[in-house]
A and B are shown apart, each in its own frame.
Chain A
């Protein structure tokens, strides 16, 4: 299970999963192990796990974000920043087809995940979300025990068949640096935890399903600075194994944790319609020290927004 031992690349699905009939054809419903664990972390010039081309999202016909083209690197942390309403959450939710749950939401353009079109008609969104997990802005633990919160994902994904559930739970909690705090109260309700603990539980819950990518929508916005820094540390550790895309309003956070940063802004069309646009996408250091767009500079230096 060690993450960094393989030299194969995204196309490794073929040899790694012999019992999948025709990998090139089969969209995302191959077994999880086939798609993960065989990636070399290469921070710069990282291979792209997501390729978005001219992605526009509409809610009931109303444009929310327009023509976004970005590539998101494997085992990197990519931060999405920008003023409220510029479509960061919208874009994030495109990446694991969470937008499907919103009636009236439509996605145009192409969202490719390891070369596969996520919105192709034969792709099962459930299979997509198995590989691309999500942590939400507000901690949303299930109203069950701490143990059951973690165990739910592995159970529904059938992971407990080949591995001991207790082991999975301990492992996930340990990696989310929550194990020591909760190991004596695994049977207690998760609702009784503090906000920061709940958020780490939600991250642990996602880790437990062993996804490829973790999407985080302002994971620290409800947390105090100490919990926040613990989660940032956690993200840095998780980066070893997962690709992370994080939406944040906190410039320092983006600067501290991310490798790449995408800055979005709200554009107002002539007919007064507002929608989000990608202004600049570059290495985080560039965005914060030497952005090529004036709007980016104004934003990251706090002149606007």
Chain B
């Protein structure tokens, strides 16, 4: 079947040159050279794919073999301890969940609102709007440690003076993923055809009504996919949390926005830098938990995307 397609295509490509043979309805055989070129190209693609897969597989297998042994319920429901036997990650898990919730509460409304402005209202002929766009693209590429410094200077200390709280940590992560949320939300809005806006406004809806009742609902699947993926990036971040000074040894769950906190990546980092080998194994167990959380979050995104995929 494939070969047949190729034949036909080659014939079409060669069409101009061999008009006579076509007139005689003779389809020339596939050229060997072409066939080989395509095979090599395909092989290269597969090799690149395999490299990525292999690295991931080695990583996962390594972590699983190290950490699966110590991964049990009491590990999940214990607080950190100086004794590896008693140590667990409950406060790290709850800390990460708190961070994620705060981050989401901040970044989704702000990011979506910014995207709506840029996509639906901003006049691209104005230089300041183009400048904002350019800046957002660039911000998405700023290293996360820089956001950590920003959070330390302006949220933990400085004008907001929130202290080393879970609120400061969540907001810092929010700033970190904000550009990504804005960009992905804009893409989701742009995917809604202009005819929907015209249809709504042609009925006498205001621009805002058209956006609120028609465009935004149609864009929600795309927006939530982007937002969820950004949250999964936030939950894996370590550097900015170190900068805003999350504590590394927290034997209680966050009790409120002003609570001190730790987070899974921090706990992992902390255990890995400990000299005791047992803690390194616990780090592997914590990595498994973090990976599972990431897989769960990303599957939600995939499910949403598949379920609400729109055909116009």
Contacts and interface: CB of A to CB of B under 8 A. Distances in A.
Interface stretch (B84-92, B110-118, B199-207, B255-263): B199-207
A302 interface: no
Contacts of A136: 195, 198-199, 202
Interface residues of B, number: 24
Nearest to B311: A191
Given A142-B200, A143-B310, A152 B195 contact: no
Contacts of B200: 142, 152, 156
Interface residues of A, number: 30
Interface of B: 123-125, 193, 195-206, 209, 213-214, 217-218, 310-312
Interface of A: 96, 98, 101, 103, 126-127, 129-131, 133-136, 138, 140-144, 152-153, 155-157, 191, 202, 205-206, 209, 211
Contacts of B193: 140
A143 B218 contact: yes
A272 B206 CA distance: 39
Q: Which 6 A-B pairs have the closest CB atoms?
A: A130-B204, A134-B202, A140-B195, A153-B203, A140-B199, A129-B204
Contact of B203 (A101, A127, A133, A138): A133
A135 B202 CA distance: 8
Nearest to A125: B201
A101 B203 CA distance: 14
A156 B198 contact: no
Contacts of A129: 201-204
Nearest to A138: B195
Contacts of B218: 142-143
Contacts of B213: 152, 155-156
A126 B207 CA distance: 9
Nearest to B212: A156
A247 B311 CA distance: 28
A107 to B, nearest CB: 17
B64 to A, nearest CB: 43
B205 A96 contact: no
Contacts of A152: 200, 203, 205, 213-214
Nearest to A128: B204
Contacts of A138: 195
B204 A157 contact: yes
B123 A103 contact: yes
A264 to B, nearest CB: 22
